[in-house]
Structure 1
Amino acid sequence: MKKLFSFVIAAGLSIAAFAQTEAIKIGTAVPAGNTTLTDISGKETTLAKETKKNGLLVMFSCNTCPYVVANEARTVDILTYAQSKNIGVVVINSNEAQRSGADSEEAMKAYAKKLNYKWAYTVDKNSAVADAFGATKTPEVFLFDGKGLLAYHGAIDDSPKEETEVKAKHLHNAIDELTAGKDITVKTSKSIGCTIKRVAVK
């Protein structure tokens, strides 16, 4: 029993070593803006380089999470919409613990091709950028304004699985208000999805 108890405590400490207690606050500048991210094309980029005149939209995502899959059409639509509003778009895969499997670079390439991604889909080595953001879920979005300050954080909308049940398009509304120079009505919402699969610190 003592051995089992010790194992449970050790496992808990390993998880706590990399778990982020909370995400960055509204008004925070883009964290890890100059951290190198590798796109599936092999090109290296940074969040600073991908930022456009009206801001930057960062989405933490992956290839297989059921919530990501349920949001595929909505993801493509909203990221395309953000680009049309002169907002830079970066999708980040921070599932470092699955890099040799479902979230390998090859799997990411196939996934992006299937959905016809027109934006950077990047590998977050050692989940460093996710750690800087305090991101915990896939999908989870962070919208920054033209000054590089966080304006909205949370979910795409209020229905994590069923598109037919959407009543509030949080991210779409935030983009509209941001680009119109208005104060964003709903600045945060709850991200519901799969946990980011970080590698435990030994």
Structure 2
Amino acid sequence: MKKLVKLIPVMVFVFFASAFTNSASLDDGYDVGDIIEDFKLKNINGDFVSLADYKDAKGFIITFTCNTCPYAIAYEDRIIALDKKYASKGYPVIAINPNNPNTKPGDSFEAMQQRAKEKGFTFPYLVDEGQKVYPKFGATKTPHNYVVKKTKKGMVVKYIGAIDDSSRNPDAVQETYLEDAVDALIDGKEIKLKKTKAIGCSIKV
């Protein structure tokens, strides 16, 4: 009995240490310099899309966004503009909706299809079914943005964070963080600001 009593505190400590470690690894996600795993997610047209499908891409602007968050809505036109500016230069936009539609019915697959049609999205709008992809990235907000570059080793994260410094008012933008990052990659220069704070709504689980 004494041995059992001695073991219980140790077991409790191991359990909580393990839980903390697992939680931290999920929350952290990719950092700048990490190589990301490819994914295969359903697009609004029913086709499945992966990064490997884009043979000529030099990299990607990956944005976790949704239909319902006011911040995400405020950025829609800017995301469309990013795709129009950079897709032809080798950095297309890939949009992913990470929200659980059972929690947010406005982020259902059908609602995604309708929103993309209304806004005229020029890029894939993918659904993270089962919410398996966004935790790997460490995304916590909508929108949360990642710029990745194709290398011989794989897709390397080059920028993480916000699109710019004005989350709700495009007319007040002074710092274009994401554009600056992509421009630097295209010009073969070092990105000056590689991480910023993503501002938006929390991802709904």
Match of 2:177 in 1: 170
Aligned to 1:150: 157
Distance across 1 between alignment mates of 2:104 and 2:57: 36
- Residue 22 of structure 1 is matched in structure 2 by 28
User: Retained in 2: the 8 A contact 1:142–1:152?
Assistant: yes
Deviations 1:140-190 (A, max 9, x none): 110001211001110110111111221100011111111111111111111
Aligned residues: 182
Which of 66, 73, 83 lines up with 2:70 in the alignment?
66
2:168 match: 161
- Structure 1: any 5+ residue segments left out of the alignment? 1-12
Equivalent-residue separation in structure 2 for 1:158 and 1:30 (angstroms): 26
**By percentage of residues, which structure has more helix?**
2
Distance in 2 of aligned mates of 1:192 and 1:69? 13
Which of 56, 74, 81 in structure 2 is aligned with 1:77?
A: 81
Find the residue that maps to 1:117 and give its secondary structure: coil
Tell me the CA shift for residue 20 of structure 1.
4.0
**Secondary structure at the counterpart of residue 171 of structure 1:** helix
Query: Where do residues 89-168 of structure 1 align in structure 2 (5 Å cutoff)?
Result: 89-98=93-102, 101-147=105-151, 148-168=155-175
Alpha-carbon distance in 2 for matches of 1:63, 1:19? 28
How far residue 48 of structure 1 moved from its aligned partner, in angstroms, is 2.9
Quickly say closer, same or farther: Cα 1:115–1:27, change in 2 above 3 A. same
Percent identity, please.
35
Query: Residues 24-54 of structure 1: CA distance to partner in whole angstroms, max 9, x if unpaired?
Result: 11011123x0x32000100012233246432
Report the AA paired with residue 34 of structure 2.
Answer: T
1:156 maps to a residue whose letter is I
Q: In structure 2, do the counterparts of structure 1 residues 164 and 114 end up closer, same or farther at CA, with 3 Å as the change threshold?
A: same
1: distance between equivalents of 2:65 and 2:124? 12
TM (norm. structure 2) is 0.82
Query: Which structure would you say has the larger Rg?
Result: 2
**Whole-angstrom distance in 2 between the partners of 1:108 and 1:97:** 10
Offset at residue 98 of structure 1 (A): 3.9
CA RMSD of aligned residues (A): 2.1
State the one-letter code of the partner of 1:149.
V
Tell me if 1:193 matches 2:185: no
**Displacement of 1:23 after TM fit?**
3.7
